[in-house]
A and B are shown apart, each in its own frame.
Chain A
């Protein structure tokens, strides 16, 4: 399984873009990059995932480098409710379900 490196914590001003980096240099060619977040005391919430191309949905954008060794999750206009721990998870997909949650990045959105 690919190992990931994420900053322990980050701050972001409300209304600004939050850019959360993740290094996954050992990712294999058929592993997707999934992003989940966990708001305090709640279950994890899926955000977005991608394989090679950049992806965008109603929650966020995912930028994956061409060599796939790193990615960045972008929350375009962070709100206070986006304060959470964000997890970058390489995974083969296919509902194998064995997601490896590391320590993630604690994002604090401040007024």
Chain B
């Protein structure tokens, strides 16, 4: 049973370009979460999605960032017109249900570097 898969592992973009980060949850998991870790800082929650629905986007920057989790295929975190401050590690996590005692399974992350 493969774990949470994120790709690419490393992504380099120039300022103004778009970054697309992909996350395939564990098999059977329909809940996906995105977190961001800025250099020398802790992980910060960004968004929680369930198939085709955004449940909680309270941690998402209001502009340039969007996320989706379509019925088929991976979840995508999209960053438009990237700036240097977007350089960070982006982690995706998944869980099977929305129930008590649920733990999150994290992927290995995508390291985004903006030149």
Contact = CB atoms under 8 A, between A and B. Distances in A.
Interface string A78-105: 0000000001000001111111111110
Interface of A: 32, 34, 38, 41-46, 49, 87, 93-104
Interface residues of B, number: 29
Contacts of A95: 31, 95, 97-99, 102, 104
B102 A93 contact: yes
A44 B91 contact: yes
Nearest to A32: B101
B93 interface: yes
A94 B58 CA distance: 17
Nearest to B31: A95
Contacts of A93: 100-102
Contacts of A46: 103-105
B48 interface: yes
